[in-house]
């Protein structure tokens, strides 16, 4: 299972439809400060079901919608689509019949997010599970945020543990344990 294409429309600084072909091997994204490199990575995380606005550097999830500039109006929606090449048939059961399929997430102001897999309406959970089973996904330790390495080096032991737990995707387990202990 590999990513083929990332399409963005109205997502953060990508106000116009943008189609990014991801070729086999290593992909590098280069450009001046503020040109949208991190936004691209966030789009990838977002379409895989990321639901923490802070992981998108926002206060609310609608902050991912193009907010407008002096010359261009704000958008009412943002949409990101990810094409998955599944010729190796590694997608989990239920999604594993086709050589290729698309996952789409769309957010509308005041109406939240809607997800599709291969054109069918699905829940956020279905998308998150698809990637969880394929050991990738929005919380994958393979996705390292900008600044995370220097945070890790300079952090005190306790916050270093928290960063590592978040990267490993187990911080939720601790939150649930803490909740259980309080009961
Ligand atoms: P650096 O090299 O500094 O890390 P970068 O290429 O990673 O830069 P990003 O952080 O991806 O840049 O992009 C930042 C730009 O995206 C800023 O100009 C910011 O105004 C713009 N941006 C972020 N969210 C939105 C939004 N909702 N609407 C419009 N523009 C946005
Ligand atoms: Mg950046």
Q: Which domain holds residue 130?
A: 2-139
Domains identified in the chain, total number: 2
Retrieve residue 72's tokens: 């261009």
122 and 157 in a single domain? The answer is no
β partners of residue 5: 21, 83
Kindly give the distance from the C-alpha atom of residue 169 to the centroid of ligand 1, in angstroms, as a whole number: 25
- Ligand 1 within 6 A of CB of 57: no
Report the CATH number at residue 132.
3.40.50.300
Assess whether the C-beta atom of 157 lies below 6 angstroms from ligand 1. Answer: no
Other Cβ atoms closer than 10 A to 168: 12
Instruction: Examine the domain organization and report whether 71 and 156 are in the same domain.
Output: no
Return the pLDDT at 171.
Answer: 62
Q: Are residues 135 and 153 in the same domain?
A: no
39 is in an annotated binding site: yes
Q: Do 122 and 172 belong to one domain?
A: no
130 and 165 assigned to the same domain: no
Report how far ligand 1's centroid is from the alpha carbon of 53 (Å).
15
pLDDT in single tens digits along all 183 residues of the chain: 789 999 999 999 999 999 999 999 989 999 999 999 999 999 999 999 999 998 899 999 999 999 999 999 999 999 999 999 999 887 777 778 899 999 999 999 999 999 999 999 999 988 988 887 665 677 776 777 788 888 888 989 998 888 777 767 666 666 667 777 776
Whether ipTM > 0.85 holds is: yes
69 CA distance to ligand 1 middle (Å): 12
Read off the pTM.
0.84
**Cα 77 to Cα 16: distance, rounded to the nearest angstrom:** 12
**Together in a domain, 134 and 67:** yes
Note whether 161 and 109 are same-domain residues.
Answer: no
Q: Are residues 128 and 163 in the same domain?
A: no
Tell whether 9 and 32 lie within a shared domain.
yes
């Amino acid at each position: 299972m590999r990513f083929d294409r990332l399409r963005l429309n109205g997502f953060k600084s990508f106000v116009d439809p943008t189609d990014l072909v991801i070729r086999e091997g290593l992909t590098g994204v280069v450009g001046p400060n503020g040109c949208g490199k991190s936004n691209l990575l966030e789009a990838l995380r977002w379409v895989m079901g990321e639901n923490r606005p802070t992981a998108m550097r926002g206060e609310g999830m609608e902050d991912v919608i193009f907010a407008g500039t002096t010359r261009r109006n704000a958008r009412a929606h943002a949409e990101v689509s990810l094409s998955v090449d599944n010729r190796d048939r590694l997608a989990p059961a239920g999604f594993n019949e086709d050589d290729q399929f698309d996952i789409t997430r769309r957010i509308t102001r005041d109406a939240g997010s809607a997800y599709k897999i291969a054109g069918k309406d699905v829940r956020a959970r279905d998308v998150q599970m698809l990637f969880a089973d394929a050991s990738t996904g929005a919380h994958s330790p393979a996705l390292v945020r900008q600044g995370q390495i220097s945070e890790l080096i300079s952090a005190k032991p306790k916050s270093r543990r928290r960063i590592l737990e978040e990267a490993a995707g187990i911080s939720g387990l601790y939150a649930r344990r803490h909740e259980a202990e309080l009961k």
